[in-house]
Structure 1
Amino acid sequence: MSSALESASREDLLTLIGLLQRQVAAAEARAEVAEAQAAELTVANERLTARVAELERRLGRNSGNSSMPPSSDAFGRPEKKPQPKSGRKRGRQSGTGGSGLVMTEKPDTTEDHVPAACTGCGSTLDQGDSVGFERRQVRDIPLSTVKITEHRAHRCRCACGTITAQAMPGHIAGSPSSYGPNLRALAVYLLEFQHVPVERTAQLIKDVTGAEVSTGWVASLLGEAAGLVGDSLNLIRALLILGHILHADETTTRTGSVRRWLHVACTDLLTLLHLAPRSRAGADPGGVLPHYRGVLVHDSLSLYAGYPRCTHQLCGAHLIRELTAAEEDFPTRRSGTSRSGGLWPG
């Protein structure tokens, strides 16, 4: 009986050992799975952390630390550091000159205002009784109303019997009735310089002058004006190409509901603008950058790398924004070597 019990205990022990071994193997397998999952979570956490940091960096971009326009500052620009007070009072400082209108000694017109009767005895008074006067000058513009001028080109018969006809002046259109050069110039000025839409330009001209111009007439003036300034634009292009320093940039604008890019090439005295896609193929039609050999100042957009014949200079304003962004991204790292091998701003 003792032998049977020992045999049974031995079998139970082996069974228990086998069960424990299987449990240990299962636990090790679960540990391996947990370890793999932990590694995956660690990688995912690092990836998400980097993503959040990148999103926060992008969210912090504004017109003060990037090339974004002020209109894109959805959350406003960060507050500037308070500057030390200078001790000066607000407003105009004592001793500085005023900025009011100065009276002129030669007015265009003069209107005399004379009392009609004496306040003492009631006698009639006129300008000849004046012993002095008080002056006031008013600056104003005359009311603008359309003035219709009829031009008559006569035909004259000579004593010899020949009839000679005088041609109409060159600035007069071929139609029997048309709008003159001053009104046409006003419409182009409102469209091009003030960026007033076509319909509002027509409405403004009607309200101010009384001329009931059509939107079609207003729109037709742009092509005519472009032809008249062609020689001037060619001269501006030539002078820009010959300059030692040239600034180039591009900004968004809209034609109706379509987003367009406005390219600019300029110096401190000359500016040339044209609408085109934001690419080298869009910049070339301006006729300046492909031929320029001086120092080109720009925002380091990739399209400018396509002009290797000139010297390139990063715009100082953009450089300051980049340094501001670096300071905001790495506030505690003032100097040293960056990951790319360059120097951190210090």
Structure 2
Amino acid sequence: MTVTEHRAHRCRCGGCGAVTGADMPGQVAGSPSLYGPNLRALAAYLLVFQHVPVERCAQLIADVTGARVSPGWVSSIVAEAALLVTDSVKLIRALLTLAHVLHVDETTTRIGTTRRWLHVACTSRLTLLGLGERSRDGVNALGILPDFRGVLVHDSLSLYDGYPDARHQLCGSHLVRELTAAAEDHPGQWWPGQIRWALAELNKQAGEARADGLTEIPPERARVYLKSFHHGLRVGLSLHPRVSGRKQSPARNLLERLQRRACDVLRFADFPSWVPFTNNAAERALRPVKTQVKISGCHQSETGAAVWLTIRSYLDSARKHGLPAFDAIHRAFTGNLWMPPVALDA
């Protein structure tokens, strides 16, 4: 730790008696003492990216740097950092709205004793996290989906169907898990394994098409798997006919969804060069929030949670562009804020 002392001298004119005081440097003006950008960036990095609890963060800083910071000061850094990265996050939101492909997902988190919903919208290059209800209004609170016109990758949660201007890709990993469960529930039936095999093979063919620089899977490669997919659906529907009433069996519901939304299930095979098979990107973006709760506990206020998520969105987006997390937050504190390049991204 290096301590710099600034002395602002005051002088009185012997003739007129006017007192003139020297101005303090801009970075310390108005404050009797101030920690520099290196230490503030370190505190924000430890709290948000490394999930270190506030008191342990203060102790770690003291042990490593010799600066005896208070837990209260450490806690205040998050709000300051969130304010500094606001312009970058605004641009992230705008670029996500214009993306060709957008991954969305949701999960629960806790604020104090209250359960809240956490939403994410992301691409391979950008991430935006935010709080909201598990409803259309909650999703809209991110400020992206109402104006989104690309391909929306998600699980089969019904609220995402309320965006007709977007095209959809249902997560293949979720469907594979549901088909595996159906195979376990109906061990004598072959249709779950056949559909699962067809989807897996189509995903493999999509990967090979991308590697070869193709914009589509050659028809002769895809034909057998598409035929197996639709044949498995017909067999499954014949074995699980509809019953009177609104409640159907899980197998019937799965089969009807696969049939009714076949285009949304197979869109990755139609556009292998840019539509993904799974929604893993969104799930990876949500995972650090769960880690934060496990290590540091839940946030005690919605304001505290919101500013933490703002910084995390900024750091995740910067890291996707190859900038280390500490460098990204240090740039915010030194007036050289990282901004995402203005380019449409899948």
Scaled by the length of structure 1, what TM-score is found? 0.51
For these two proteins, the number of residue pairs brought into alignment is 198
Q: 1:298 aligns to what?
A: 154
Q: How does 1:1-346 map to 2 (within 5 A)?
A: 146-152=1-7, 167-172=23-28, 174-256=30-112, 258-335=114-191, 336=235, 337=237, 338-340=240-242, 342=255
Q: Secondary structure at the match of 1:286?
A: coil
**Percentage of pairs with the same residue:** 65
Q: Deviations over 1:112-133 (max 9, x none)?
A: xxxxxxxxxxxxxxxxxxxxxx
Question: Quick check: which one's helix share is greater?
Answer: 2
Q: Which runs of 5+ in 2 are unaligned?
A: 192-234, 243-251, 259-346
Q: Which runs of 5+ in 1 are unaligned?
A: 1-145
Shift of the 319–223 alpha-carbon distance from structure 1 to 2, 3 Å rule, reads: same
Looking at structure 1, the residues matched to 95 and 174 of structure 2 have their Cα atoms a distance apart, in angstroms, of 26
Looking at structure 2, the residues matched to 293 and 344 of structure 1 have their Cα atoms a distance apart, in angstroms, of 23
Contact 1:153/1:167, CA 8 A, preserved across alignment? yes
- CA RMSD after TM alignment: 3.0
Shift of the 147–199 alpha-carbon distance from structure 1 to 2, 3 Å rule, reads: same
How far has the Cα of 1:309 moved from its partner?
2.0
How far has the Cα of 1:258 moved from its partner?
4.4
Q: Deviations over 1:241-295 (max 9, x none)?
A: 1110000011233445544332111000111111233332222221112221111
Shift of the 216–240 alpha-carbon distance from structure 1 to 2, 3 Å rule, reads: same
How far has the Cα of 1:179 moved from its partner?
1.2
Looking at structure 1, the residues matched to 126 and 257 of structure 2 have their Cα atoms a distance apart, in angstroms, of 37
How far has the Cα of 1:339 moved from its partner?
2.3
- Of structures 1 and 2, the larger Rg is shown by 1
How far has the Cα of 1:343 moved from its partner?
7.4
Amino acid at match of 2:64: V
Shift of the 291–156 alpha-carbon distance from structure 1 to 2, 3 Å rule, reads: farther
Q: Deviations over 1:52-82 (max 9, x none)?
A: xxxxxxxxxxxxxxxxxxxxxxxxxxxxxxx
Q: Deviations over 1:215-256 (max 9, x none)?
A: 221221222111111110011011111110000011233445
Q: Secondary structure at the match of 2:141?
A: helix
Shift of the 244–164 alpha-carbon distance from structure 1 to 2, 3 Å rule, reads: farther
Q: Secondary structure at the match of 2:121?
A: strand
Contact 1:237/1:272, CA 8 A, preserved across alignment? yes
Contact 1:171/1:181, CA 8 A, preserved across alignment? no
Shift of the 318–154 alpha-carbon distance from structure 1 to 2, 3 Å rule, reads: farther
How far has the Cα of 1:181 moved from its partner?
1.1
Q: Which has the higher contact order (CA 8 A, sep 6+)?
A: 2
Looking at structure 2, the residues matched to 223 and 147 of structure 1 have their Cα atoms a distance apart, in angstroms, of 25
Q: Secondary structure at the match of 2:181?
A: helix
Amino acid at match of 1:299: D
Scaled by the length of structure 2, what TM-score is found? 0.51
